[in-house]
Structure 1
């Protein structure tokens, strides 16, 4: 069994932490200048902004494992079991092709032309190194290479020999799940923020 690889944006994590710090400073400043009554009014818009930044930039990821590929986008996740995997392409971001349609990965944008040229000029077997929490930097090219490598390894080991028959017999399909709690929290916070701004 090979290790599970999780690809996400390091820039997105820095941006989310910065948004959280700015939000906290803003709330403390309101408390000092205007009192606790105004803090209650400042919390919904601040919370909505920080949560939105987290949803868009921290949470998205692509997880590659022996069980398949998990594409975690801001509002919905899709697990692609290997028997349903048909291939991938790199467009503006990574697109995973499945027996049930295409899945675009929010967390894996295509690298810039400059980054691609730098990569080619330093092509001594470039290996992505994980961060301290085990995450890997996500570019569409790196994620595509990891998915292709894992798929080939499973095919070579014979694990996907009868994938089509197994898929049809067991009704295996990509599994899609909406992030209901996240969506509900966003709706509540945005609604509260609008109410605060209207009554200002």
Structure 2
């Protein structure tokens, strides 16, 4: 879910409750992760029907990412919980997809390792600097998520031929953007900490 840097408030001018539909969709995305894994892995990724069901669950889960962001912005439902939980939900879903695709031999392990090292490292850094401010999603982070989601969906679907090479090309772009935005996030985090210590603002960019 994309969120602005300034804290939002509801229509009444008060901070919105964490118990809202946008955050509910974020939690739903987390709940769908084990369902997705079960469908993709239960027959070693060899069953075509299971693969299509896993594809459907993955797509629905990723759609909630767009919907919860739109709802949060439109109705002023942006919360600190959402700012933290949303990227965690994204990483849980995409991380599960990367690992499971490598386990069943569809995706190279080096790709999964590079992506996971970046994602885990950035997530830990987010928590390490949370006392200085919460860093919402950046445009680069949204592009990274979109490329990862598209490439993963293409690999999850039991498609062959030219679709495989399209999936490889999109995945290559996703890996590049993942690494670049990770480096950008480190720089943004350093700025946030420096500004906070100097008594400045707490704006920044996120993964």
- What is the TM-score when the length of structure 1 is the normalising length? 0.31
Bigger radius of gyration, 1 or 2?
1
1 or 2, which has the higher helix percentage? Answer: 2
1 or 2, which has the higher strand percentage? Answer: 1
- What is the TM-score when the length of structure 2 is the normalising length? 0.30
